[in-house]
Structure 1
Amino acid sequence: MVHLDSAPALLVVDMQNGFCHKQGSFAKMGMQSEPTAIVPHINELRSAFRAANIPVFFLRTGYNADYSDRRGRDRRDSVEKLQGLIRGSWDANILDELTPEPDEKVVDKTRNSGFFRTSLESTLKERGVNHLIVTGVGTDVCVESTARDAYQMNFAVTTVSDATGTCNKPDHLAALHALRMFGGTASTAEVIEALQKSQDLRNQRMS
């Protein structure tokens, strides 16, 4: 059973055309993360968090046109050959179904973890956030890297099992198993139930 701390936030990781769309660069490499099952869950969580006036953040991977800011860059690499995930390109854009609202901050990154040389930590602290609810792709790469770092930075962390995904089910399940030690996991329904309970308690205190 998940318990939401006093100041949670929803984090949507790398739900971009390059990683998730059938015409994206990773699909062309045979590595697409299938978004069909998780997009409705992410949007359900967004709606619930927005209704509760709880912040929503997006992470977005994007590189310079010459890939000078990409780790281990290699011109023989498929991402570079396909001109994938260049900042400002269609490939780097967030899926249309998840287009961020004006008040949903997007944090750009160049590494797996959303905390590496980004404004994410300072932004969360400015907003007083102490609990991250993590969704997105890939469960075993950018989601796991970000969740682990958040845990080490003393944030409470819950990774949403049915609002995360990666290229195949075994890798997804293995990452969720590992993340039990870094804040744990919960389903979309469990997170929304916990959110409702926390809202009910807050309303009771105010009445």
Structure 2
Amino acid sequence: MTKSALLVIDVQKGMFDKDNPVYKSDLLLHNLKGLLAQAHHTDTPIFYVQHNAKAGKPLEYGTNDWEIHPDILPREEDVIIQKTTPDSFYNTSLEKELKKQGINHVIITGIQTEACVDTTCRRAFSMGYKVTLVEDTHSTWDSDEITAQQIINHHNGVLRWFADTYPSKQVKFNQQAES
């Protein structure tokens, strides 16, 4: 039986800086709120992954920018995983928490497409999880060479080797079985 969990990676206040917000930030939050509502309705576990940067860096642990965005705050039963690298599994409790709940399918969303989202998709696949990447609920910023939209499009294509990819409107959570 497949038991799914929604992973929300690094959707923290600092990613929505008014002078340089993540690409299509309002649409990203709108789509995430829809997925979260569906996960709540189906009792699908939700895991928030929160990046902890070093002192003086964006997303520095304990700062205002480090906090999870107020539009998608976790509920008491949601799990918050702390990380320090782009890999949501590396030196974190994520795998232990997923196993504890019998999760074998992760639905991945969040920031930053070419770093934490990409790395976590690949790692989850390599660890034997069924992976779904939600095409319109991950984002990034323009680079010097290509636009954020090009980065997102590229990763939605490349990550098909590791994940099923769907827009948020096509993602359906199954009612979760009682543990």
Q: What is the TM-score with the length of structure 2 in the denominator?
A: 0.88
Tell me the SS of whatever aligns to 2:92: coil
**1:141-197 deviations in Å (ceiling 9; x for gaps):** 1111111100000000000001111111001111111110002211111112xx3xx
Aligned to 1:11, which of 7, 14, 35? 7
Matches within 5 A, 1:81-120: 83-120=57-94
User: In terms of Rg, which structure is larger?
Assistant: 1
The 2-side partners of 1:64 and 1:152 are apart by: 28
The 1-side partners of 2:5 and 2:17 are apart by: 26
The 2-side partners of 1:183 and 1:97 are apart by: 27
The 2-side partners of 1:64 and 1:169 are apart by: 29
**1:171 and 2:151 equivalent?**
yes
Aligned to 2:17, which of 12, 15, 21? 21
Return the offset for 1:63: 2.8
Aligned to 1:180, which of 148, 160, 179? 160
Which residue of structure 2 aligns with residue 133 of structure 1?
107
Q: Is the 8 Å Cα contact of residues 22 and 32 (structure 1) preserved in structure 2?
A: no
Q: Is the 8 Å Cα contact of residues 151 and 157 (structure 1) preserved in structure 2?
A: yes
**1:64-102 deviations in Å (ceiling 9; x for gaps):** 43xxxxxxxxxxxxxx4xx42111100111111111111
The 1-side partners of 2:68 and 2:60 are apart by: 13
Letter in 2 for 1:13: I
Which residue of structure 2 aligns with residue 71 of structure 1?
none
Which residue of structure 1 aligns with residue 144 of structure 2?
none
The 2-side partners of 1:132 and 1:106 are apart by: 15
Runs of 4+ displaced beyond 3 Å: 31-34
Query: RMSD across aligned C-alpha pairs, in angstroms?
Result: 1.7
**1:37 and 2:33 equivalent?**
no
Letter in 2 for 1:171: I
Tell me the SS of whatever aligns to 1:39: helix
The 2-side partners of 1:33 and 1:124 are apart by: 29
Tell me the SS of whatever aligns to 1:6: coil
Q: Percent identity?
A: 29
The number of aligned residues is 170
Q: Is the 8 Å Cα contact of residues 139 and 172 (structure 1) preserved in structure 2?
A: yes
Which residue of structure 2 aligns with residue 47 of structure 1?
37
Instruction: Considering fraction of residues, name the structure with more helix.
Output: 1
The 2-side partners of 1:20 and 1:153 are apart by: 31
Q: What is the TM-score with the length of structure 1 in the denominator?
A: 0.77
Aligned pair in 2 of structure 1 residues 33, 14: CA closer, same or farther (>3 Å)? farther
Which residue of structure 2 aligns with residue 56 of structure 1?
46
Unaligned runs of 5+ in 2: 142-147
Tell me the SS of whatever aligns to 1:117: coil
Unaligned runs of 5+ in 1: 66-79, 203-207
**1:191 and 2:176 equivalent?**
no
